Amino acid sequence: MLKRGSLKIFLGYAAGVGKTYQMLTEAQELRKQGRDVVIGYFEPHGRLETIARTEGLEFVPRRIYQHRGSTFEEMDANAVIARNPEVAVVDEFAHTNVPGSPRPKRWEDVAAIRDAGIDVLTSLNIQHIESLNDQVWHVTGVRVRETIPDWVVQEATEVVMVDVTPRALLHRLERGVVYAPDKAAKALENFFTESNLSALRELALRQTAHQLEEKREDREETFNSTAPLPQTVISEHSGRPEHLLIWLTPHPSTAMLIRRGRRVADYLNSSCSAVCVGHHPDLDRYLEFCRNLRIDTETIEGKDYAKAVADYARTHGITQIFATRAAPDIHKLVHLARDMQVTIVSERVRGNT
């Protein structure tokens, strides 16, 4: 059987930290070692030093799409696969392809390329990681739309943090290295403040550290090493394995609730599923969102929502219920589930700093 290609992610905390530059430096290094390296996609952003790093590397031509009267260029993943190099460089992992492309997301293109046995180097900014979406919004006031599910990032063979200090980054921005001057001024005013950047940087450092921990635990499980194994987490209260249940309601804070539940379950190595009571047009996208994040869902019936959820939890070995404080029957749920752990998740408050 064909061995799946490896995936290496160059993770940064903002545009301009040098992800693409470092990725291309590595590509050049691999080429020098005699490996067959191509560029599947590269976004120059007009950065001369970065563009210079592509010298001598073969570009697989992009594919051109027409959409609503405009022309779009996307990576031609199928052409990369047909070219069959050993390594492909694919910039901007979180990119969404234009409608009409064979796959909606670039990370799906990358999965297809890896399935063909090709190693991939890619770049990603921390704000695109799904479970950090609320925290990033909280810090920057920007709701990032292009996100990538955490499990996709966890699948990477290696994640490397590309680090510079916020001061150095602000310097680059002022000198016009990152953006054209008009855009730079706007970026400096909004997203790129020293405190925003520090907070994003801290998130990226913690995320990379967490990723390493998870990888090690996977490896330990696989090789059954003599090191103490991370046991399936047993709930201190009941002695049962931890199982989180997310209560989905039509309230808009449900997206945040799902992300938070997923993140906590990931960190605690516990299983995670979601339930909603009855049908509502707004519930469909939350059910879909859960499936994207690999959370099992179930729709149950019941006139009394809080009671239905509490009963379901009791009969399904749930150790902890996750609900948003905006759920209409939240106080009732809290009182009906007094024999269980209930986490009431609150949307973070954001000041306009």
Partner 1 sequence: MSSREFTRPDPDQLLRQIQAQEEHEARGRLKIFLGYAPRVGKSQRMFDEGRRRRKRGQDVVIGAIQTKGSEDLADLIREFEVIPTRGDVIDVDAILARAPHVCLIDELARVNPPGSRHAHRWEDVEELRAHGVNVVSAINLQHVREQQDNVERITGRRSTHSVPESFIHSADDITIVDVPAEECRHHGAKGLTPAQLSELRELALLLAAHVVEKQLQRYMDAHGIMQSWGTQERVLVCITPRSSARVMLESGARGAARFHGQLLALYVRQPDLSREAGETVDQNLDLARKLGAEVHIIDGPDPMSAIIRFAREQRVTQIFIGHSGKPAWKFWAEAPVDRLLKEAEGIDVRLFPNAA
Q: Which positions ≥6 away from 98 have C-beta within 8 Å?
A: 65, 67, 72, 74
Phi first, then psi: what are they for 345, rounded to 5°? Answer: -95, 135
> Given the complex with partner 1, which of 84 and 225 has the nearer CB atom?
225
Paired tokens of 90: 């694919």
Least distance CB 340 / partner 1 (angstroms) = 7
What is the C-alpha to C-alpha distance for residues 17 and 114, in angstroms, rounded to an integer? 26
What is the C-alpha to C-alpha distance for residues 171 and 25, in angstroms, rounded to an integer? 22
Angle between helices 133-140 and 254-268 in degrees, nearest 10 = 120
> Given the complex with partner 1, which of 50 and 320 has the nearer CB atom?
320
DSSP output for 36-85: -EEEEE---TT-HHHHHTTTTPEEPPPEEEEETTEEEEE--HHHHHHH--
Phi first, then psi: what are they for 250, rounded to 5°? Answer: -70, -5
What is the C-alpha to C-alpha distance for residues 139 and 142, in angstroms, rounded to an integer? 8
Q: Which stretch binds partner 1 (CB under 8 A): 34-42, 165-173, 284-292, 293-301?
A: 165-173
Q: Interface with partner 1 includes 49 (CB under 8 A)?
A: no
Size of the site for partner 1 (CB under 8 A): 62
From residue 276, alpha-carbon distances to 187, 206, 292 in Å are 40, 32, 16
Q: Interface with partner 1 includes 311 (CB under 8 A)?
A: no
Least distance CB 351 / partner 1 (angstroms) = 4
- Write the DSSP symbol of residue 148: B
Based on its alpha-carbon atoms, the radius of gyration of the chain, rounded to whole angstroms, reads 23
Least distance CB 126 / partner 1 (angstroms) = 11
Q: Segment 213-232, which members bind partner 1 (CB under 8 A)?
A: 213, 215-216, 219-220, 225, 227
> Given the complex with partner 1, which of 101 and 324 has the nearer CB atom?
324
Least distance CB 263 / partner 1 (angstroms) = 9
Least distance CB 105 / partner 1 (angstroms) = 25
Q: Interface with partner 1 includes 351 (CB under 8 A)?
A: yes
Q: Interface with partner 1 includes 189 (CB under 8 A)?
A: no
Contact pick of 32, 143, 183, 237 for partner 1 (by CB under 8 A):
237
From residue 270 to residue 309, what is the string marking binding to partner 1 with x (rule CB under 8 A)? ----------------------------------------
Residues that bind partner 1 (CB under 8 A): 8, 135, 138-139, 158, 160-165, 167-168, 194-195, 198-199, 201-203, 205-206, 208-210, 212-213, 215-216, 219-220, 225, 227, 233, 236-237, 260, 267-268, 320, 325, 330-332, 334-336, 338-349, 351-353
